[in-house]
A and B are shown apart, each in its own frame.
Chain A
Amino acid sequence: MNAPLPNGRRRRLLLAGGSLTLAFAMHPAWPQGAGGTGKGKEGGLPGSLEKEPWLDAWIRIGADNAVTVFTGKAELGQGIKTALLQVAAEELQVHPGRIRLVTADTARTPNEGYTAGSHSMQDSGTALRHAAAQVRFILAGMAAARFGVADTALVLRDGVFAAPDGRRASYGELLAGRQLHLRADGKAPLRARAAHTVSGKPLHRVDIPAKVSGGSAYVQDLRLPGMVHARVVRPPSQAAQLAAVDTASVARLPGVLKVVRDGRYLAVIADGEYRAVKAAMALANAARWTVPAALPGTRDVPAEVRARPAEAMPILERGVLRQDGRSVGATYTRPWQLHASIGPSCALAQLVDGQYTVWTHSQGVYPLRAALAELLGVDKERIRCIHVEGSGCYGHNAADDVAADAALLARSYPGRPVRVQWMREEEHAWEPLGPAMLVDVRATLGSDGRIADWEYAVTSPSHNNRPGKAGNLLAATHLAQPFTPPPGKPIPQPEGGGDRNAIPYYALPNARVVHRFQQDAPLRTSALRSLGAYCNVFAIESFMDELALAAHADPVAFRLRHLDDPRAVAVVKLAADKFGWNAYRAGARRGRGFAFARYKNLAAYCAVALEVEVARETGFVRILRAVAAVDCGEIVNPDGVRNQIEGGIIQSASWTLLEQVRFDERHVQTVDWASYPILRFNQVPGRLEVHLIDRPGEPYLGTGEASQGPAAAALANAVAQAAGVRVRDLPLDRARMRAAK
């Protein structure tokens, strides 16, 4: 590795304690280098530097030349650790294998809020890139001063500068144990994309070797000295009241260390894990509950969603409705759905001398800490939350809830680390749900074959009940002194919650879009990967096909007719070309489908084309092949992007073909993989291709949630063609496909 170094003015560095402080402004107006500049706001610092501007909060270099990089984001299985290492390695010009990356930890890393919304590359990747570039730039200046040469004369290889005469100085030697406690300015020149050696190149994920060999990789794998095991006994429903419980008989069981009762919160702590499981079963049998009929049931989800009160909030009012032409309308729905992690949520907590340590797979260690502080009634400085990877969460699952369990039980059993592992039935029954949603859409087709007007209303409860408040934590609502969940709130545009992607990305001169926000929902709801975009893109892109059919137009051509962003046009054309759209001839029982969206209308572009075969007798939908095209700005790890898009398509196929939570008036009924089936190997696509469009110099756009919406709609469109009937209520499962007329 080597990097040409920019001209720099001589700089005077003041040594201040263990850190270096610059005496005057660093840079003249540097020309911006290529790539991922990611300026969030006018004049603001790039990415998360805006919130955490100190360079040594992001990058620290030891006297031994060891490089440590810090991020407030967490590895969720999306490969963010590897991509962030690539970004830092590129700009620092240090081999990625030599960099230690520390992820979300309230004692050590910047506060970057939640790892959510496909924001990590934009926020943390952009911040690290600029911080690393500035660190390299400052160190180049120091090396140039030390050698008495121009910094353009230096050659940088793996964190070591060499002068023309052969003298060398490493980053560690230049800093000699001090840290660059300087404010980032976002002005250091970035390395030109053409010169990149790490970023934009394939790099194997750093976490996979441990995961394929039984290494300690997850919070579930932590075994702390003196650790005890706990299990919680949940009420039969959120409305259930505890009539009586015999804790004494459970306390006498082998290995039971403590039985906890606080209101209707019941738990056991035992000296062995399976003993805790058995004691929890005994405690469940020893409890008598009254279970009121407090739920609406799921016999008719669309009617139930429509019946619940909603506040109408216009999010787009453009032009004039009621244009001349042919009016077409439809209603689309999505049921309650689960994150359904393969590993149920788990956490450890320990209370020692008034200090809590919590090991958690939460997506937001800082917001979790605030919620725990309120729950426990202690100052947040008395709690340290450390992220340790868990099973993939796909949004706000029970990660925070189990951390609350662990903290509460650590309080009741101080000194020892308490490990709490949710059972499968708990995770299915109690995790926050992806909300049931309903979309009403109507449009007028003009005589020119274009959409003359568009009216759209999406009805949804909140997609954001993440902690921040104790009332967002499940256990807190069951205590004798319960915390009340704060009212659900909408996420404002342009990102949106239930209305995420509710505004079509198409050029529509006359359009009205309304978010009908529901304050209340029968069960707890929160962020499930892509939030409302899954349902809105399913609805918009299904309806685009229905309009194309009405206009006697090819669905891809009809979309292109309404797209004016060249990057959108490029992904649509690429997906269609790679699929062989124009040459396609449907065989018996077969059909093709297409869909496009730009996630949040401001992030990654994704188009999906796929082919299905539908057996109407059995209702079974088989995906023969799927082709995706993606533009996520400048690419850091091409295979990481492909992996995320592939996974998004398959997960979305699972939601779309199979998944719905069921409950009656009293209980959630989908409490395991038999009652809530997900996609298995027999139903995954025969072939799946992802084609990338790299955009060097463009901001990172993130990829974790780009394909879910397009995959769902492409599938629905293909199924409609293959089956000859349009099903507008998800999921397109066997029962529904058999019954469809």
Chain B
Amino acid sequence: MSSFDLQVNGRRHRVETDADTPLLYVLRNELQLNGAKFGCGLGQCGACTVMLDGAPVMSCIVPVSVVGARPVRTVEALGTADRPGVLQQAFIDEQAAQCGYCIAGMIVRAQALLDRHPAPTDEQIRSHMMPNLCRCGTHMRILRAVRRAADALAKRPQGGRT
């Protein structure tokens, strides 16, 4: 067991765990965050996507020991069921889920895009979302939801940020 200080969703957490434990297991079990999901443990499907220092990463293959002081953001940081963030609201408006197991990872990956490119083209959205898998075939709605969120953000006075 080792001790790690993590910055997750703007809060500092001290966790005691084995150094080789992937960040995903720490988020889910130690911090009790449901958003990031176990899908493959191989970095192939994106169900576990979180932002590490603003970049989308597959948390199932990131050992907790390499996270260091870099901030971690999960879907929980973007809003709640009662007060969803812009992107979450867009997913609700487009009803962009079937089983929904992939959706938290999809939202986090899309957020990373919108943070850097507030006005992405449709091709940029498709290309950016490539690493994440959906099995229910909700892809068209996911693309529409990201488009809708980008358009909503563009209408804001400051543009961009959620």
- B135 and A340: CB pair below 8 A? yes
Between A272, A278, A394, the greatest number of chain B beta carbons within 10 A of the residue's beta carbon is seen for A272
Contact B76 A650 (CB under 8 A): no
A588 at the interface (CB under 8 A from B): no
Q: Which residue of A lies closest to B88 (CB)?
A: A212
B105: nearest residue on chain A (CB-CB)?
A: A342
Contacts of A639 in B (CB 8 A): 95
Residues of chain A within 8 A of B44, CB atoms compared: 424, 672-674
Interface centre among B32, B37, B95, B107 (most CB of A within 10 A): B95
From B25, B99, B133, A76 is in contact (CB under 8 Å) with B99
Q: Is the CB of B75 within 8 A of A274?
A: no
In the bound assembly, the distance between CA atoms of A650 and B139 in angstroms comes to 8
Q: Does the CB pair A211–B104 fall under 8 Å? A: yes
The 8 A CB mask of A387-408 against B (1 = contact, 0 = none) is 0011110100000000000000
Minimum distance in angstroms from A547 CB to a CB of chain B:
30
The verdict on A522 contacting chain B, using a C-beta distance below 8 Å, is no
A272 to B29, Cβ gap below 8 A? yes
* A647 within 8 A of partner (CB): yes
Residue-wise interface mask of B (59-101) relative to A, using a CB-CB cutoff of 8 A (1 in contact, 0 not): 0000000000000001110111110100010011001011111
Query: Looking at the complex, which one of B42, B127, B134 makes contact with A342 (CB distance below 8 Å)?
Result: B134
Say yes or no: is B56 at the interface (Cβ < 8 Å to chain A). no
Q: In the assembled complex, how far is the CB of residue B28 from the closest CB belonging to chain A, in whole angstroms?
A: 8
Q: Decide if B5 is an interface residue (CB 8 Å cutoff).
A: no
Contact A212 B103 (CB under 8 A): yes
Chain B residue numbers with a CB within 8 Å of A679 are 137, 139
Is B18 in the interface zone, CB < 8 Å from A?
yes
Which of the segments A40-48, A130-138, A682-690 contacts the partner chain? A682-690
Q: What is the chain B residue whose CB lies nearest that of A338?
A: B135
Chain B neighbourhood of A344, CB < 8 A? 38-40
Contact A273 to B29, CB < 8 A, known contacts A649-B137, A674-B44, A681-B143: yes
**Is B154 an interface residue, CB under 8 A from the partner?**
no
Could you say which of A392, A672, A681, A684 contacts B42, with CB atoms under 8 Å apart? A672
Among B81, B127, B135, contact of A341 (Cβ-Cβ < 8 Å): B135
Q: Return chain B residues, CB-CB under 8 Å to A569.
A: none
Tell me whether B40 and A424 are in contact (CB under 8 A): yes
* Chain B residue contacts of A648, Cβ below 8 A: 137
Cα(A566)–Cα(B18), bound, Å = 66
Q: How large is the interface on A (under 10, 10 to 19, 20 to 34, 35 or more residues)?
A: 35 or more
Instruction: Tell which of B25, B39, B76, B95 touches A424, judged by Cβ atoms closer than 8 Å.
Output: B39
**A340-B103 Cα distance, complex, nearest whole Å:** 16
- Please name all residues of chain A whose beta carbon is closer than 8 Å to the beta carbon of B102 when the two chains form the complex: 342
Residue A525 is within 8 A (CB to CB) of chain B in the complex = no
A208 interface residue (CB < 8 Å to B): yes
Contact string against B for A residues 666-699, beta-carbon threshold 8 Å, 1 for contact and 0 otherwise: 0000001110001111101100100000000000
**B34: Cβ under 8 A from any A Cβ:** yes
B153 — which chain A residues lie within 8 A by C-beta?
Answer: none
Count residues of chain B with CB under 8 A from any CB of chain A: 58
Counting chain B CB atoms within 10 Å of each CB, which of A212, A646, A673, A678 scores highest? Answer: A212
Contact flags (1/0) for A638-656 with B, using CB distance below 8 Å? 0100011011111101100
| Closest Cβ–Cβ distance, residue A612 to chain B (whole Å) | 16
Cα–Cα distance between A205 and B101 once the two chains are bound (Å): 15
Known interface pairs A213-B76, A421-B38, A423-B41. Does A392 touch B143 (Cβ–Cβ under 8 Å)?
A: no
- In the complex, what residues of B have CB within 8 A of residue A342's CB? 37, 39, 45, 47, 99, 101-102, 133-135
Q: Contact between B95 and A643 (Cβ–Cβ < 8 Å)?
A: yes
Tell me whether B47 and A343 are in contact (CB under 8 A).
yes
Q: Which of A67-96 contact B (CB under 8 A)?
A: 76-79
Q: A274-B21, A392-B135 are in contact. Are A688 and B34 (CB under 8 A)?
A: no
Asked if B148 is an interface residue, CB under 8 A from chain A, the answer is: no
- Is residue A207 within 8 Å, beta carbon to beta carbon, of the partner chain? yes
Asked if residues B74 and A680 are in contact (CB atoms below 8 Å), the reply is no
B residues within 8 A CB of A678?
133, 135
Question: Would you call A651 and B137 a contact (CB within 8 A)?
Answer: yes
Q: Contact check: which of B28, B95, B100 meets A204 at CB < 8 Å?
A: B95
Q: Could you mark each residue 188-222 of chain A with 1 if its beta carbon is under 8 Å from any beta carbon of chain B, else 0?
A: 00000000000000001101111111111110110
Known: A643-B138, A646-B140. A214 touches B40 (CB 8 A): no
Q: Is A662 interfacial (CB-CB < 8 Å)?
A: no
A-side contacts of B134, CB under 8 Å = 342
Across the two chains, which residue of chain B brings its CB closest to A76? B99
Residues of A within 8 A of B82 (CB): 209
A-B contact pairs, 14 of them (CB 8 A): A212-B104, A274-B20, A278-B20, A342-B37, A343-B38, A391-B37, A391-B101, A424-B39, A424-B44, A643-B138, A646-B140, A650-B138, A673-B40, A688-B140
Q: What are the 8 tightest A-B residue pairs by CB atom distance, in nearest-first order? A: A77-B99, A650-B137, A214-B35, A392-B99, A211-B100, A647-B137, A391-B101, A209-B81
Known: A214-B34, A391-B37, A391-B99. 18 other contacts (CB 8 A): A204-B92, A209-B82, A209-B84, A211-B100, A213-B79, A214-B75, A215-B81, A344-B39, A390-B99, A643-B141, A651-B135, A654-B137, A672-B42, A673-B42, A674-B42, A674-B44, A678-B135, A679-B139
